[in-house]
Chains A and B, each alone.
Chain A
Amino acid sequence: MAAIDFSHIAVEMSGITKKFGDFVANEEINLTVHRGEVHALLGENGAGKTTLMNVLYGLLKPSTGTIKINGKSLNIFDPNIAIKNGIGMVHQHFMLVESFSVTENIVLGNESTKSFGILDTERAEEEVVHLSEQYGLTVDAKALIQDLSVGSQQRVEILKTLYRGANILILDEPTAVLTPQEIRELVAIISNLTKAGKSIIIITHKLNEIKQMADFCTIIRRGRHVDTVKVSEVTEEELAAKMVGREVSFKVAKEKQNPGEKILDIRELYVEDSRGVMVVNGLNLQLHKGEILGIAGVDGNGQTQLIETLTGLRKAKSGRIEVLGKNITNLSPGKIINKHKVSHIPEDRQKRGLVFEFDIAENMILESYFKPAFSKRFTLLRQNIYKNAATLIEKFDIRPQDATVQAKSLSGGNQQKMIIAREVSNEPELLVAAQPTRGLDVGAIEYVHQALVAQRNEGKAVLLVSFELDEVMNVSDRIAVIFEGKIVGVLDADDADEKEIGLLMAGGTA
């Protein structure tokens, strides 16, 4: 807060309206950000946060409204104009060239060339190193993007905007993909940036992060400006209520229930990752009907590979996986889904969960297009397919309520809802949910948690994998802690204690 210079308004957006056809994504939104201020944008999935920022960055042209940058009225109809005026944006999905080095990515389109257009690598690298030291953005300037962790890639994106002289940084859900450790580093970086007089606009669904980082918070609901508050004067509960328009419960209500017969049985499972390193190391795990088992662990301890093996997307080296007593080890995904009734909410919705070019209805039948409900003698039953989608859209409150919209034009949170709707409607015996609430707003998180509990109450089994300890502790009946590819402890959720789990997650003994 100390860093804010209230005499200097960096960004002033007034009366911004943005329509997509008849759909109003932003309606008369105002936003003021001072120099040195961290301003959070809060709103449900599909509220229009990304849209508003895309307008500021010149990716979208507003239908009406004006923008002033540092007191100067501007027509930003192209990102180049935004960049020239000191605006930088790190998108929800990164836009780096995988096979290029960090430096190459940063200077891309802004190369300092020697002569004849040859890139002066040495000078560029020096500049990058200098910038990264200045703001504590540690990153290896020579490394290739494809070898970097998600957190480092994000730092590259931030460096890229700084390299182009950004004074106003837009960060769209930067923490959604980060580990807790990486989030702490980002908080420090943001503080360094504001101290240097930069303004930050940050979008996040995590209320504690807003409390921790932001000075002001603008709340948007269904495209409209609800309120702008001073963060130090509101509680997390108040923020949530403003954004959803009702009270939100952070605790999941569930009755105690006795688990039934065994559904999932994993014995001595060994799995390698793509580089040939053994990352699941003799893992044992059992899961019963009517039970939610949460897997807690730090990212990179074999969770991803475990799930992939369980769902047929990766082959096990050895070991055995049984579902309801039948061996499913190394079967094809199709068999596991259809014969053994295992559904899967994938960790990466972009890569696995959706076909972006398909519309909502087509995505909803990804695992069931051949079933009698949706096809007859190899011909798709269009009417049924769209009716099915309409039902799910209604039931899961997916916005917009139009089955013919392409999946890629949905907001991140609504994409996630689509996947959950599809997987739950497949009526699985076992639901594998990997990071099911990543990128969701608190209202939607509440909804997803309730959906998982509903599965359990119906006597289905749920395997929940999440990097968020809160979520695991809140939703699960039992908690299994994974460390270096092994389950190192299984605890009853009721008498589990955060410290104890934290210790196990770090490889200690409880």
Chain B
Amino acid sequence: MNLTGSKMKKLLLTGSFGLTLISILLGFLVGAIVLLIAGFNPLEAYWAIIKGVLSKPKYVSYVIIYATPLIITGLSVAFALRTGLFNIGAEGQFIVGAMAAAIAGYFIQLPILLHVPLCIFLAMSAGAVWGGIAGHIKARFGVHEVISTIMLNWIALYLSNWSLTLQMFGKQGTGKSHMIQETARIDLFGQWKITEAGIEFIRSHKVLGDILKSPVNLGIIFALLFAFLMWYILNKTTLGYELRAVGFNPDAAEYGGINVKKSIITSMSIAGSLAGAAGALQVMGVSHKIAKLAIMEGYGFDGIAVALIGNNTGPGSVFAGLLFGALKYGGAKIQDAVGAPTEVINIVVGTIILFIAMPKLIQVIFKSRKG
């Protein structure tokens, strides 16, 4: 007992896990100060978040739904970072993935067991191409991936918006695409929920019924699967060995006979395919369509913070994604509870995130500047 106690203490104090916890606490503290300055009671506000996240099964379910794309874009950024690459492009990869899934989900007719995997596969391929381009540009011309991925983000955004202007795909005048086929959706009980029996079930079952009130879907299963796959690939396979070696010390990797340029492209492609999958799952499980984007939605950018908080590991990203989802979903509830305007809430949530992610972001930037 004593031994595990002291081990625990050591882990908390010296390990990166402890650092993360401390930054999370600090983040909340500074968030509280912001609230105080704006004239609101931080305790009430935070209590509203906790209640808004945990007090009903439906809320928990919403948090998971919010968290799903963030976990996966987090994995995308984390995977690249483990190879020493800063994937700012998860945003764009997410967009092309969503677009690919929406197109494949609308135009192709297939039974569900084929249609769903096909959509995800195509979306991952699109994301892989998008990430791979950045990797290729870096390997070939030495252009830093941060620069190329930022540009690719904008190209993705305009490409997606342009696709909506096409007669056959966009619903004219709405700025939205047509809904994808039922067979391309991963909602759980989506159709059944609006039948008589479904409505009756929801009314009579307290917990399950409440959960079903949220758009439950299979996304989180995929997210967990991807987290496991990432852990497995990085730690158990020869590919992971190569990528980690390149990430830690490209000179030594080159010396050891590892093809560093190929590794960069591979890593960015895998990272891109993950972000692409996140976009697909969002379309297939939640929105069922894509819409015109005036600005970036921020899934990819949030993924950066998720990856940093999660220490670039699979399990870490799941944890951080959930934390993020909870803040995003629960944060909105401060408004009702203490009457703070959304702007203040966004500042508070932003501050918390900034505090959590900043120390690590600085580390990463310094590391990539040295390399």
> Cβ of A380 < 8 Å from any Cβ of B?
yes
> Cβ of A356 < 8 Å from any Cβ of B?
yes
A358 touches B251 (CB 8 A): no
Contact among A334, A335, A380 with B258 in the assembled complex (CB-CB below 8 Å)? A334
B245 touches A380 (CB 8 A): no
Contact among A337, A352, A366 with B245 in the assembled complex (CB-CB below 8 Å)? A366
B255 touches A346 (CB 8 A): yes
Q: In residues 201-249 of chain B, which contact A (Cβ within 8 Å)?
A: 236-242, 244-245, 248-249
A366 touches B238 (CB 8 A): no
> Cβ of A379 < 8 Å from any Cβ of B?
yes
A366 touches B248 (CB 8 A): no
Q: Quick check: which of A172-180, A237-245, A367-375, A498-506 contacts chain B, the rest being far away?
A: A367-375
Nearest-Cβ distance from residue B251 to partner chain A, whole angstroms: 5
Q: A313-B254, A333-B257 are in contact. Are A355 and B238 (CB under 8 A)?
A: no
> Cβ of A486 < 8 Å from any Cβ of B?
no
Nearest-Cβ distance from residue A359 to partner chain B, whole angstroms: 12
Output the nearest chain B residue to A365 by Cβ-Cβ distance. Answer: B241
Q: In residues 355-401 of chain A, which contact B (Cβ within 8 Å)?
A: 355-358, 362, 365-367, 369-370, 375, 378-380
Nearest-Cβ distance from residue A333 to partner chain B, whole angstroms: 5
> Cβ of B5 < 8 Å from any Cβ of A?
no
> Cβ of B147 < 8 Å from any Cβ of A?
no
Output the nearest chain A residue to B369 by Cβ-Cβ distance. Answer: A99
A352 touches B241 (CB 8 A): no
Nearest-Cβ distance from residue B259 to partner chain A, whole angstroms: 7
> Cβ of A452 < 8 Å from any Cβ of B?
no
> Cβ of B252 < 8 Å from any Cβ of A?
yes
B254 touches A355 (CB 8 A): no
> Cβ of A479 < 8 Å from any Cβ of B?
no
Output the nearest chain B residue to A357 by Cβ-Cβ distance. Answer: B248
Output the nearest chain B residue to A366 by Cβ-Cβ distance. Answer: B256
B-chain residues with CB within 8 Å of residue A311 when the two chains form the complex: 255
A380 touches B252 (CB 8 A): no
> Cβ of A246 < 8 Å from any Cβ of B?
no
Q: What's the Cα separation between A282 and B240 when bound, in Å?
A: 41
A-chain residues with CB within 8 Å of residue B242 when the two chains form the complex: 369
A-chain residues with CB within 8 Å of residue B245 when the two chains form the complex: 355, 358, 366
> Cβ of A168 < 8 Å from any Cβ of B?
no
A380 touches B257 (CB 8 A): no
Q: A362-B241, A369-B241 are in contact. Are A332 and B259 (CB under 8 A)?
A: yes
A367 touches B256 (CB 8 A): yes
Nearest-Cβ distance from residue A9 to partner chain B, whole angstroms: 35
B257 touches A332 (CB 8 A): yes
> Cβ of B253 < 8 Å from any Cβ of A?
yes
B-chain residues with CB within 8 Å of residue A379 when the two chains form the complex: 236-238
Nearest-Cβ distance from residue B15 to partner chain A, whole angstroms: 14
B-chain residues with CB within 8 Å of residue A336 when the two chains form the complex: 257
B255 touches A352 (CB 8 A): yes
Q: A353-B252, A366-B245 are in contact. Are A375 and B238 (CB under 8 A)?
A: yes
Output the nearest chain A residue to B258 by Cβ-Cβ distance. Answer: A334
Most chain A CB atoms below 10 A, which of B236, B245, B252, B254: B252
Output the nearest chain A residue to B249 by Cβ-Cβ distance. Answer: A355
B-chain residues with CB within 8 Å of residue A365 when the two chains form the complex: 241
> Cβ of A456 < 8 Å from any Cβ of B?
no
Q: What's the Cα separation between A362 and B244 when bound, in Å?
A: 11
Q: In residues 300-336 of chain B, which contact A (Cβ within 8 Å)?
A: none
Nearest-Cβ distance from residue B81 to partner chain A, whole angstroms: 13
> Cβ of A112 < 8 Å from any Cβ of B?
no
Mask: chain A, 277-315; 1 = CB below 8 Å from B; 0 = not = 000000000000000000000000000000000010100
B-chain residues with CB within 8 Å of residue A362 when the two chains form the complex: 241
B-chain residues with CB within 8 Å of residue A96 when the two chains form the complex: none
> Cβ of A338 < 8 Å from any Cβ of B?
yes
> Cβ of A481 < 8 Å from any Cβ of B?
no
A356 touches B249 (CB 8 A): yes
Contact among B240, B248, B257 with A337 in the assembled complex (CB-CB below 8 Å)? B257
Nearest-Cβ distance from residue B238 to partner chain A, whole angstroms: 5
B253 touches A355 (CB 8 A): yes
Mask: chain B, 251-271; 1 = CB below 8 Å from A; 0 = not = 111111111000000000000
B-chain residues with CB within 8 Å of residue A355 when the two chains form the complex: 245, 248-249, 252-253
B-chain residues with CB within 8 Å of residue A378 when the two chains form the complex: 237-239
B-chain residues with CB within 8 Å of residue A367 when the two chains form the complex: 256-257
Contact among A338, A356, A357, A375 with B257 in the assembled complex (CB-CB below 8 Å)? A338
Most chain A CB atoms below 10 A, which of B236, B238, B244, B248: B238
- A sample of 29 inter-chain contacts (CB < 8 A) reads A311-B255, A333-B254, A333-B255, A333-B256, A334-B258, A334-B259, A337-B256, A351-B249, A351-B251, A352-B251, A352-B252, A352-B254, A354-B249, A355-B248, A355-B252, A355-B253, A357-B248, A365-B241, A366-B245, A366-B252, A369-B238, A369-B242, A370-B238, A378-B239, A379-B236, A379-B238, A380-B238, A380-B240, A380-B241
Instruction: Return the 7 tightest CB-CB contacts between A and B, nearest first.
Output: A334-B257, A366-B256, A352-B255, A357-B248, A337-B257, A355-B249, A333-B257
Chain B contact residues, CB within 8 Å of chain A: 236-242, 244-245, 248-249, 251-259
